[in-house]
Structure 1
Amino acid sequence: MTGLLDENDVVQFRNIPFATIPARFKRSVLLTHFLDTDRNFTKRGYASPQAIPTVPDLFSGGPYPNESSTFQYSETECLNLQINVPISLLQSTHSKVPLLVYVHGGGFVLGKIDAQHSTHLMVSQSVSDNQPVIGANIQYRLGALGYLHTSTADSNIAMHDQRNALLWIQTFAGGFGGDVGRVTVFGESAGAMSICYHMMAPAPSTGPLFQRAVLMSGVVGPMTAPMPVKEAEKLCDEFMDSLGIKEKSEAGLEWLRILDVQEIVDKSSKLTEQGTMWIPTQDEEWFGKEAGDVTWDRGLELIGKCEWVDAILLGTTGFEGTTLLAAVAGLTPKSFVKGVADQLGEQSANLLKKAYKLSDSMDQNLFLTRAMEWIGDVVFSTPAHALCRHVSTSTNANKKIYRYIFDARNPFPGSPCYQHPHHWVDIYYVFKTFQFRYPHQRLKDLSTRHAQLWIDFTNGKSPWSEYRYDEGGNATFMIADEREGWIQRSAKQDENLCGRDWARCELLWESWKGMQGKWFQPLKIEPMRKSKVV
């Protein structure tokens, strides 16, 4: 195999195919050999078909140097991965080293392997710190191409793509010097939630796919719990209707398969703009017979019971709701409380009024701040807090948990979220790939330490003190702070310094109790029914 040796003495093996796609809406087939594969792995591969941004990524400061603002995609050749290996592992015999595998986010509709999200600088850092790791990035199908469910086609296609990528790593990573018994997966947002779906399912017959997990702003909760089959089939009918396909079942699928892939992407994206989320389905074949109905409240239990993961590192950013402002911009205190009352009942609405300090006469700007807190809590912060509480207190969850808050802000002028610790801002730090763009050394140090902590965890270490919910105000968080760097604080210290209030999340969780055992989406209150949420 020929890889690309970079200036950091890391060999990047790019565009390695890990599975084939026999047909649209069919599960991928794991590749178990290289017999028909070109052995030159120096160029980037195709991305999964997806909506192409019309403007550069303003959130990260604009176009990335030497990276094309456009990219090529292929429906049949998108299942590839990248392996980043210290050259020293390839030059002589070494003990096997652990693997750190990134599952990209993007709301289940966007994402690809690129220079910005590459693990190669993390690998270089691991060598400098004398605890080398091998890094990897994987791709999977997106939107309707990855998540459309019908009664006659394969289900949870994207999840099987991810599983095949991880199975490929189990099969071949040893040849690069990797220890397949020490695999850590990390993901952000939809990538982290994808890791949750793997943990909610039984391990493949060949054994565990990973032993440690890093969940960055992504724990499965009510908005992202697997969709019941009936709901998934309704979405399929809506999707076919939007394309003018009247036939159902296999006949309808045949029409879907002959359409140009861009039509599939465009209609998938249009539904996303109207509030649809492309998420996995409650499929017994994936989640197993014993799981039963995998409703939002059962996710914590299934993740906690996952026997093959021994430690979880998880956290959220300082203010998750910023990027979802458009979804709540049209709300008023009255319309919001009425929408919640209509969905959950008056008692739940009163709990939310208490949690977010709402009143009918409050200032509209202050209300929008509270609404952004609520939407960030619903999708990200409250499920994360609930999982931390469950794992640290349940006798059935035999695993360690480490909790963090990434409170550093977006450092790029011109970004819509400049100087804000918004959802996904940590992605601009952990890979070290944006350090050339930082205005201050302290941000570079924060970024380097971020990578080091994830590397420590991958090497089986405790990156900081365990989180223990029953310690109350003394429970330990690691905080990414621009002035102090990565620093441990107690929950009480953090509340006093930053005003963070986890009791708010607990009241929100309590407001959902009447929906236990049911599938519901808290953001689908009437005034927000068609709001985009990814």
Structure 2
Amino acid sequence: MSHARRLLRAVRWTLIPVTVTALAVAFTSAQASTVGHPQSTAGSAHSLLVRTANGVVRGAATTEGRQFLGIPYAQSPTGALRWQAPRRAADWRGVRDATEYGDYCAQNTYWAPGYSTQHTTEDCLDVNVYTPPATSRTASLAARLPVLVWIHGGANIGGDARDIVPDTFARRTNSIVVTVDYRIGAFGFLTLPGTTGNFALLDQQQALRWVRSNIGAFGGDAGRVTLAGQSAGGSAVCAQLASPAGRGLFRAAIIESGAYFDCGGSTRAQAETTGLAFAKKLGCTDAATAAACLRAKPAKAILDAQNGTGPETWNPTVGGRELPVQPAEAFTSGQASRVPVMNGATSDEGLVFAYDSFDRWGNALTADAYPKALTSAFGDTIGAKALARYPLSTYERPGYAYAAAYGDYLFACPALRADTRLAQRGRVYSYEFADRTSPLFASLPQDADFDFGATHAAELNYLFKPYGISARLDAEQRALADQMTAYWASFIHGSAPSAPGQPVMPDQKSAPGTVLQLRTASRGGNSATSETGKAHNCDLWDAAAGS
């Protein structure tokens, strides 16, 4: 629905990538901290030198292990290479320093940490590699570690691979984590006559090929790669599952809050119409030469023209070689990769969206305005039905009622629909993060008079260090983080998601519609339930989606 797409665009900052991957079984006390600084340790110099296919890189030792930052996996997509498929990175001589992050990919501003200024650099196709302390390039094949490749979120128009720091995760899960930067916004998704439009997806695939060719030198197993992402990053995982070119590049996948809009993209005709309209904004009016005309424009001009656009504009193009059919169709028709998938969402996804639509601007939703807000978001017919399903008498504030409807429509029910579809092409394990005591995500206002509960991205605090900051967890939350770490880690290591003393995450083949809810012990603990669809009114939202 176009109404809801506009709302999603308005809160693009909440879709920042901070993904779910698998921390470890033994979480230590989570105190607010930043990435460890490089340390000089006896015998570490050799292990910090790694020979890749392009040349030697020197990383850094930290309190958690080793990190190699800003390694190019493709050439700079500038000049004639703008809006072209990525090309193999150029080789270098000598030792390349890999102790600092590369540049942000070109994007506009928003108020999350690190994004207060416009970034205009296009030379950004880098990966960051995090390893536990004991790995080395001389590790035997049997000793090589599984690999998690993380795709950041950001509504396809923002975000960066550094938005999560997974060094502690890598140590605790005894795995290697690779975070990926890729082209976003117009640079990653613009479709014009003569272009594919799926440059972001092609970048991600090129990064996966780099992992396949190089991860062994870091102690990783190229045959045990799990592709993961949250929000827009999770949606990208959907697309990669459906892409013929993605087959064989990963052996498992994790989708966190990424099934919104049923993982769908624009048709070729829609994408070209949108692309040509965008080109005209910049004075490139001839369809035959629009791509060449735009390549001559500075990055800032393209970003300025992009301002005010969002997910309804910049998303994958369906109907070409990279993505022949919509992911939902690929899942049900058997055209998608048949790798194991872990898929889920949070129980209160919509709260942060409701806050950013109303309370953030000092305009809290009132009871009188509530019915109109629903019809504005979902149309008259569905809005009226939603009013009956989400009565104000059930909620402390109108904004919370609106949030429940919006989150169920956009995330909870699409995740359950994705479970059903994914189960037709292979194993899929389903979870719902439902810890309403969760600490606030790092980019949220810490002093807001608003209960964010288990909102969008809340689970990332239990797995990673968003923006390099460890969330402050109490004893019960740390126990839940340990359990979640075990679930994610076992999946990354090749087993069904499980944790000591906890129920196994349900497989949708044997237990269709059953979801593992993740909660602290005093709130009921982890438990499998078949009532998730009913709790989120999915009969209403499935009918609205035409499912």
TM-score by length of 2: 0.76
Tell me the distance in 2 between the aligned counterparts of 1:399 and 1:79: 32
Tell me the distance in 2 between the aligned counterparts of 1:143 and 1:121: 30
Tell me the distance in 1 between the aligned counterparts of 2:376 and 2:469: 46
Partner of 1:453 in structure 2? 487
Q: Does 1:374 align with 2:405?
A: yes
Partner of 2:268 in structure 1? 229
Partner of 2:304 in structure 1? 266
Tell me the distance in 2 between the aligned counterparts of 1:198 and 1:353: 37
Tell me the distance in 2 between the aligned counterparts of 1:71 and 1:120: 27
What are the within-5 Å matches in structure 2 for residues 213-228 of structure 1?
213-222=253-262, 224-228=263-267
Partner of 1:63 in structure 2? none
CA contact (8 A) 2:120 2:300 kept: no
Q: 2:431 aligned to 388, 403, 412, which one?
A: 403
Tell me the distance in 2 between the aligned counterparts of 1:506 and 1:431: 34
Amino acid at match of 2:481: S
Using the TM superposition, give the Cα deviation of residue 28 of structure 1 relative to its aligned residue in structure 2, in angstroms.
3.9
CA contact (8 A) 1:101 1:183 kept: yes
Deviations 1:377-407 (A, max 9, x none): 2321111011223344x4xx22242323242
CA contact (8 A) 1:25 1:145 kept: yes
Deviations 1:223-266 (A, max 9, x none): x51101222122223323333x1522243333322222122122
Partner of 1:248 in structure 2? 286
Amino acid at match of 1:120: D
User: Number of paired residues?
Assistant: 467
Partner of 1:212 in structure 2? 252
Q: 2:415 aligned to 375, 384, 404, which one?
A: 384
CA spacing shift, 1:73–1:451, aligned 2, 3 Å: farther
Amino acid at match of 1:267: A
Partner of 2:244 in structure 1? 202
Q: Does 1:426 align with 2:459?
A: yes
Deviations 1:258-309 (A, max 9, x none): 222122122213223xx74410111321124xx4xx3x7525425x652441
CA contact (8 A) 1:391 1:401 kept: no
TM-score by length of 1: 0.77
Q: Does 1:156 align with 2:203?
A: no
Identity of matched residues, %: 21
CA spacing shift, 1:480–1:216, aligned 2, 3 Å: farther
Partner of 1:83 in structure 2? 129
Using the TM superposition, give the Cα deviation of residue 147 of structure 1 relative to its aligned residue in structure 2, in angstroms.
0.7
Tell me the distance in 1 between the aligned counterparts of 2:192 and 2:70: 31
Using the TM superposition, give the Cα deviation of residue 446 of structure 1 relative to its aligned residue in structure 2, in angstroms.
3.1
Amino acid at match of 2:70: N
SS in 2 for 1:447: helix
What are the within-5 Å matches in structure 2 for residues 3-402 of structure 1?
3-8=59-64, 10-20=65-75, 21-23=77-79, 25-31=82-88, 34-35=91-92, 39-53=96-110, 55=111, 57=113, 73=119, 75-90=121-136, 92-94=138-140, 95-114=143-162, 117-126=164-173, 132-204=174-246, 208-222=248-262, 224-243=263-282, 245-272=283-310, 276-288=312-324, 291=325, 294=326, 298=329, 300-301=331-332, 305-309=335-339, 311-325=340-354, 326-327=356-357, 332-333=370-371, 336-337=374-375, 340=378, 352=386, 355-356=389-390, 368-392=399-423, 394=424, 397-402=425-430
Deviations 1:481-523 (A, max 9, x none): 374696233235xx7xxxx83461132112332xx7xxxxxxx
Whose relative contact order is higher, 1 or 2, with alpha carbons under 8 Å and at least 6 apart? 2
Tell me the distance in 1 between the aligned counterparts of 2:469 and 2:121: 33
Partner of 2:40 in structure 1? none
Bigger mean CA deviation after superposition, 173-182 or 348-357? 348-357
Partner of 2:526 in structure 1? 487
Tell me the distance in 2 between the aligned counterparts of 1:182 and 1:363: 46
CA contact (8 A) 2:60 2:68 kept: yes
Deviations 1:351-376 (A, max 9, x none): 54554459xxx899865434322222
Amino acid at match of 1:81: V
Unaligned runs of 5+ in 1: 58-67, 127-131, 517-534
CA spacing shift, 1:364–1:426, aligned 2, 3 Å: closer
Amino acid at match of 1:467: P
CA contact (8 A) 1:456 1:462 kept: yes
Tell me the distance in 1 between the aligned counterparts of 2:307 and 2:90: 35
Tell me the distance in 2 between the aligned counterparts of 1:39 and 1:485: 51
Unaligned runs of 5+ in 2: 1-56, 359-364, 441-445, 499-503
